[in-house]
Chains A and B, each alone.
Chain A
Amino acid sequence: MDTKLEPIVKIIQEKFSATFEEFRDEVHLFLKPEQIVEALTLLRDEHKFELLSALTAVDYYPQVSPRFHVVYQLTSLAQNLSLQIRVPVNGTSPKVPTATGLYGVANWRERELLDMFGIEFEGHPDPRRILMPEGTEGHPLRKDFPLGYEEPQFTFNFDEIGLQKPHPKE
């Protein structure tokens, strides 16, 4: 671990009784959903993590609790440090408080997570789908959502598949 990062991790660890993992020089801190806003505020204001590089989620289906990890990848320009925060949430009605008040970028990224994973962000100012059309059912990036593979058409099965394919009217 980077020597500059060590004290910061220690502070967070003590304050929120968090655990951390290390892999290839990357530090992943695990926090509870209700702590995340406070932790982000602390990191942004006191430790100059001014850039929220990525905000995403990982689905560990069929594991149910926790099913998702919401991942906050923070970058500090001033100190040239990176830190990852992970928030495990449950599979049934996953909810995390919003970070829109802290980072503007969280607005769209959280909408993306709502769209793709169905994770709700409490207090989000504009909870609409962002990528998929309105009225889509399901959340595509969840592991139980099918990829939606269509059989490709080759010479040997051309007619067979041609029958099933939708064809437009002229």
Chain B
Amino acid sequence: MGVEQKLGDMGVVTTTLENVVNWSRTNAMWPMLFGLACCAIEMMAAQASNYDMSRFGMELMRASPRQSDLMIVAGRVSKKMGPVLRRLYDQMPEPKWVIAMGDCASCGGVFNNYAIFQGVDEVVPVDVYVAGCPPRPEALIHGVLTLYEKVNKEKFKDLAEKYK
């Protein structure tokens, strides 16, 4: 019972371009491999056999910012790393999204001190925050799905406005 069977003889589907574009964006979103600290291990676990994030079109972790759409900041961002993070973000092609994974990336977590940015939102704009220290792989996957919801609601009009 797939879409082929239902629409097989018609061969035509009508929808809006916006829907198709957003649908394709959510189904092949390539995250950047940006493991910083402990949360990165849970991110790896989310990629590995038990949780298998590739079910959501994310099996490809790209090491290069130029090839990725999504930056999952997994871990704490130190004052030395912040500028590097920003540069990598600037190198990513539009449209791009950021998930702050874990308490440290969201708000500084347990490390309220001189060395750590109190939330990566001081450096790059964040779309989805995932709570937990570290968040379970399920939580990360939930965060990703939340992002998909957001992406699915995006309007060309707004994007055009933004990139003007």
Question: Are chains A and B touching in the complex at the 8 Å CB cutoff?
Answer: yes
List the A side residues contacting B80 at CB < 8 Å: 131-133
Measured CA separation A150–B107 after assembly (Å): 10
- Is the pair A140, B115 in contact by a Cβ cutoff of 8 Å? yes
- Is the pair A145, B114 in contact by a Cβ cutoff of 8 Å? yes
A168-B124 in contact given A152-B107, A153-B107 (Cβ < 8 Å):
yes
- Is the pair A148, B107 in contact by a Cβ cutoff of 8 Å? no
List the B side residues contacting A153 at CB < 8 Å: 107
Measured CA separation A40–B103 after assembly (Å): 45
- Is the pair B86, A168 in contact by a Cβ cutoff of 8 Å? yes
List the B side residues contacting A148 at CB < 8 Å: 112-115
User: How many chain A residues touch the partner (CB < 8 A)?
Assistant: 18
Asked if B122 lies at the interface with its beta carbon under 8 angstroms from chain A, I say yes
List the A side residues contacting B108 at CB < 8 Å: 150, 152
- Is the pair A133, B114 in contact by a Cβ cutoff of 8 Å? no
- Is the pair B107, A167 in contact by a Cβ cutoff of 8 Å? no
List the B side residues contacting A146 at CB < 8 Å: 114
Measured CA separation A123–B79 after assembly (Å): 30
- Is the pair B113, A167 in contact by a Cβ cutoff of 8 Å? no
Interface residue from B79, B112, B122 paired with A152 (Cβ < 8 Å) = B112
Q: How far is the CB of A140 from chain B (nearest CB, A)?
A: 6
24 contacts between A and B (CB under 8 A): A131-B80, A132-B115, A133-B79, A133-B80, A140-B114, A140-B115, A147-B114, A148-B113, A148-B114, A149-B112, A149-B113, A150-B108, A150-B118, A152-B112, A152-B118, A165-B118, A165-B122, A167-B121, A167-B122, A168-B86, A168-B121, A168-B122, A168-B124, A168-B125
